[in-house]
Amino acid sequence: MTAAYEVGECILKVSDVSLTLGGNLILRNVDLEVKNLKRPGFSQGQVVGLLGPSGIGKTRLFRILAGLDAPDTGEVLIGPEQKPVERGMVGVVAQHYPLFAHRRVLGNLVVAGKQAGLSASESRQKAESLLKQFGLEQHGNKFPAILSGGQRQRTAIAQQFMCSEHYLLMDEPFSGLDVIAIDAVSRFICEVASAHDLNTMIVVTHDIVAAIEVCDTILLLGRDRDANDNIIPGARIQKTYDLAARGLAWRDNVATTPEALALLKEIREEFPRL
């Protein structure tokens, strides 16, 4: 059964983004849009999965979306106001959750807030609020080394929300995790996305099953082919899967349903041609 929802304004728009490195065309005329999904009676953000083969350009697009790198052509606009993205406007959580080892959990957040331009008191107030929101209020005085993997991930996400209000990019959050840990991470991503209507999580992953479990939209990045089936350099968005429209979003254990298994097969069949 498809959950009731409405499609609102565009909150992330990528237009005609291209990138060449070392004489090689990496990204070519990339276009994509993420729109605000609204569920009556719920606080509901967006979770977008970016999938594609290794080496296709996901990391480069990731860095452009975060405002860390500039494309050769095109632009990235974020928020209902459609502002050009700049470094610091989008939070970035790397695969291994890098934190300042010599600072306690609260200190990691406070430093991030100061770097984002908050005063010392504003930074501490926001940090304490985020620790409470992410269930870390009892761990604020601990060093990262003694946290569990899940606690480090929560700390890293909270740290990024010190500077980015609603936008977060996650690089391979399921890599190297067992099934139980993947389930826990998936639930937490959904929890963070649901904390505010504008919260938008973009998850770069190779794990198709986990993406189906957690995302409401999945994007496939790959290269076009010419009439003779030769690869055309430069990756673009090849497919967009709207899981909300398919009735696969916001459901527990959705990956085991016949509809999800059919989508898994569909995506896997696309990969060899990307």
- DSSP secondary structure string for all residues of the chain: -PPP-EEEEEEEEEEEEEEEETTEEEEEEEEEEEEEEE-TTS---EEEEEE--TTSSHHHHHHHHTTSS--SEEEEEETTTTEEP-TTSSEEE-TT----TTS-HHHHHHHHHHHTT--HHHHHHHHHHHHHHTT-TTSTTS-GGGS-HHHHHHHHHHHHHTT-SSEEEEE-TTTT--HHHHHHHHHHHHHHHTTSTT-EEEEE-S-HHHHHHH-SEEEEEEEEE-TTSPEEEEEEEEEEEETTTTT-SS-TTGGGSHHHHHHHHHHHHHGGG-
pLDDT in tens, 171-207: 888 877 778 778 878 888 888 888 888 999 999 998 9
Task: Tell whether 43 and 171 lie within a shared domain.
Answer: yes
Residue 220 banded pLDDT, cuts 50, 70, 90: very high
Task: Tell whether 231 and 189 lie within a shared domain.
Answer: yes
pLDDT in tens, 228-271: 999 999 999 999 999 999 999 999 889 899 999 999 999 999 99
| Among 163, 184, 199, residue at a domain's last position | 163
For 102-107, what is the mean pLDDT? 92
Q: Which residue range is the domain that position 147 belongs to?
A: 100-163
pLDDT in tens, 13-52: 999 999 999 999 999 999 999 999 999 998 889 999 999 9
Q: Looking at residue 260, what is its pLDDT? A: 96
Residue 1 banded pLDDT, cuts 50, 70, 90: low
| Assigned domain for 1 exists | no
| Assigned domain for 95 exists | no
Q: Looking at residue 88, what is its pLDDT? A: 82
Task: Tell whether 246 and 170 lie within a shared domain.
Answer: yes
Task: Tell whether 175 and 249 lie within a shared domain.
Answer: yes
Residue 70 banded pLDDT, cuts 50, 70, 90: very high
Per the structure, the count of domains in the chain is 2
